[in-house]
Amino acid sequence: MWFEKSLDEIIKEFNTDIVNGLSSEEALARKNKYGPNKLAEKKKKSILKLLFEQINDVLIYILLAAAVISALLGEVSDAVIIMVVIVLNAIIGLVQESKAEKALESLKKLSFPKALVKRDGRIVEISSEDVVIGDIVVLEAGKYVPCDLRLIETANLKIEESALTGESVPSEKYAENVLKGEDIALGDQQNMAFMSTMVTYGRGTGVAVAASMDTEIGKIAKMLDNDEKNLTPLQVKLAQLGKILGFGVLVICVLMFIVAVIQKRDLFEMFLTAISLAVAAVPEGLPAMVTIVLAVGVQRMIKKNAIIRKLPAIETLGSVNIICSDKTGTLTQNKMTVTKFYADGTLDNISGLNMKNKVHFALVEYMILCSDATYSADSKTGDPTEIALLELGAKFDLYKKDEDRLHVRVNEIPFDSDRKLMTTLNRFDNKYNVITKGAVDNLIEICSSIYLNGGIVPFSEELKLKVMNASDSMSKDALRVLAAAFKKVDSIEIEIDSMEKNLTFVGLVGMIDPPRENVRDSIEECKKSGIRTVMITGDHKNTAFAIAKELGIAKDFSQVMLGYEFDKLPEKEAGNRIDNLRVFARVSPEHKVKIVKTLKKKGNIVSMTGDGVNDAPSLKTADIGVAMGITGTDVAKDASDMILTDDNFSTIVEAVKEGRNIYNNIRKSITFLLSCNIGEIIALFIGIVLGWPSVLRPIHLLWVNLITDSLPALALGVDPDDPDIMKEKPRDAREGLFSGKNGVFLIGNGILIGVLTLSAFYVGTRIYPNSVMHAQTMSFVVLSVSQLFYTLSMRHSEKSIFQIGIFTNRYLIGAIILGIVLQNVVITVPFLASVFKVFRLTLNDWMFVILLSIVPLVVNEIVKMLWKQNT
């Protein structure tokens, strides 16, 4: 590891010259050998490949087979309808995912175009792509680091690394530090500078030790560059369902031929009947229904500030039981803010500042004047801690005074990492004030007096102890503490060495990156809904725990673990301990991925939220990755499944609600379609076993599956939200679509619909013994209309239609009415009647079939009522 080696070792290993840098010839030779300093591009998927991924599904293959069979049977119109369903399904999915997998392209954009290097003894500006291993790179404030550097010289160097490490404040860098130990996190490697981070203060030089894909950001790119596809729970279940249906179709066909041989029937006739059963087994509208319901869900989510990049992500949200959240910029505001102060003998929240108090006024004013940052409503530049101080001044309308040049700076001693102090000399009327700010321990040593009660008094040991106690109190709350002091001088002619002596202590300010508004309430709501929140951050342990405790994520310090400590745990022990852990601090991108994978192995459905480059691999690994839309990097967004346009953690809770409702609606639709198909299979199979003529024709089944069933199924898919959905615990991802009473409900209703269809056919053959067509028409209508009425009871597994409101889903009522109308048109319009080979029913026939058709609705409502009484 580069941070463990001395400068002499680094220079020798890379054969470079600190003073002159590389020669142009040597730099060119190294570039030819190692290639340009840029991230590798991922090969884009072609439209054909994306299209194939959309149709590469067992259910789609069964639909294609059904289309071919329909065409062979001469039912060309049915084949066309099925193909339209397949194409529609593929196009919707393709549109949603055609922009996917741009993470590496976004990482490439982070490699900024210019860098300062020493070449041939001169400092020259070159493209960052031309930086090679061994180059001596010069860093200045405002410059981006072009590659990974081992620093060889620094002067008050600070680098903003939050996008890579997750730490909320810039890291101080020191060339002299030689660190030992493989457990040192990126944020603690103070003698290193990493590609695509930004210099916020000071200057430095370093040796290029890693470029392109070998850099830390390149390692992240490699973690993202894989074609591993995480299937959502619903995708897994639908894939399993497709295989079961495919196997079922084969079994049905074999059984039919066995029955044909036993009953000595016409084999061609039985072949057509077997095909009918195969068609009945496949819910033709299922793939399109699922895709369309998810697409509608996307539009609903946009209105709630969540952009869904991949359709199945909506369904995944509904089963999430763990939200792993980055701290900086996600749970917090990613903005250092002054929250406490100590002045005039009082420690208080910042709201207690009184500008009429001279000491309070002086504390804020001096913090503003002793700063190199700039602040306005439109722009902020400089160190985040100094920007926080300027924002505090702007809050009390004090910052304008410096802008008006009333206290112009005439001299200064810049911040130094050894002194940990910064001093300025500012004009105050005809005199001057020396103002010093910095670390409490260092500042207190050069103060001989303290500003108290509007006057200056000796700084006794007792008063120093009070100051240190106040500082310790702030530190325990994980606040970053700065102190301020001053002294008045008569002349601008003051020696530098004497400026930081015999100062008057003024006070302290404590600052932190504070939590976002409403986040605590959202975390509490998650907790009540059975969803656990886990904080993962690059910040230090104490800072992470302080925020986690304030938000209600963690209660005890034992629930906090460092990233490298977790990484060292054996797989079994990591799995055992992770249930009790709520906060992970000082984590690297690799640590985050291990944390997410360990949680997933425990059977959890994990959501990961984040905004930085360092979050991208874990966003991709999680069941659903959620990126911040405003502060999030392009890398994080492209690796995610969902983007929050308002960067609000609370939006995740709304998304979970939506996801749960959408999943419930999809499950209702699937249950409805499959129970109807079971009814069709039972009607046909039992009829054949009993030696009856075919109860239904293949075209009848296609009509019911593609037209009559599909519209009500879609209407169920957009059923209004259940207001009690968040009172339920997250469903077990391992739970089947039809586990528990849902499976009983599915099979029971399938049997009921099948028996009713057989009953209609049987009665039809008794009333019209010479007309099989008439009996088939009656069973056709009962099958269709009973399913339409049945949808009303499908809206809720426990609440009756009167509790949820008969007309609260207008789309469903419209679908039922339209279905009945279409069914009537088919059997009354002569042309269609001849195509479908049906008979025009009499009024008595209609009364009979309607009576049979409402039975499923009545039975289900009675069962709900009895179930409720017994629970």
Would you tell me the crossing angle of helices 772-793 and 710-717 to the nearest 10 degrees?
0
For residues 656 and 727, is the Cβ–Cβ distance under 8 A?
A: no
d(CA 593, CA 610): 13
What string of H, E and C letters represents the secondary structure of 586-600?
CCCHHHHHHHHHHHH
The two three-digit tokens of residue 197, written as one number: 């981070």
The two three-digit tokens of residue 761, written as one number: 């056919």
For residues 488 and 433, is the Cβ–Cβ distance under 8 A?
A: yes
Instruction: Report residue 199: phi and psi, to 5°.
Output: -80, 120
- Which sign, positive or negative, has the C-alpha torsion 377, 379, 381, 384? positive
DSSP-assigned beta bridge partners for residue 409: 426
d(CA 169, CA 4): 24
d(CA 748, CA 678): 10
At residue 657's C-alpha, the angle toward residues 654 and 659, to 5°, is 110
d(CA 129, CA 26): 16
State the pairing for strand pair 624-628/642-644.
parallel
Catalytic residues: 326
Reduce the DSSP state of residue 333 to 3 states and report it: coil
> Rounded to an integer, what is the distance from CA 70 to the centroid of its chain?
43
Reduce the DSSP state of residue 857 to 3 states and report it: helix
d(CA 161, CA 193): 9
The two three-digit tokens of residue 795, written as one number: 């809206």
For residues 57 and 288, is the Cβ–Cβ distance under 8 A?
A: no
Reduce the DSSP state of residue 437 to 3 states and report it: strand
Q: What number of CA atoms fall less than 13 Å from residue 308's CA on the CB side? A: 28
For residues 388 and 337, is the Cβ–Cβ distance under 8 A?
A: yes
For residues 582 and 534, is the Cβ–Cβ distance under 8 A?
A: yes
Task: Return left, alpha or beta for 812; rule: phi > 0 is left, psi -120 to 50 is alpha, else beta.
Answer: alpha
d(CA 156, CA 162): 19
Reduce the DSSP state of residue 429 to 3 states and report it: coil
For residues 132 and 34, is the Cβ–Cβ distance under 8 A?
A: yes
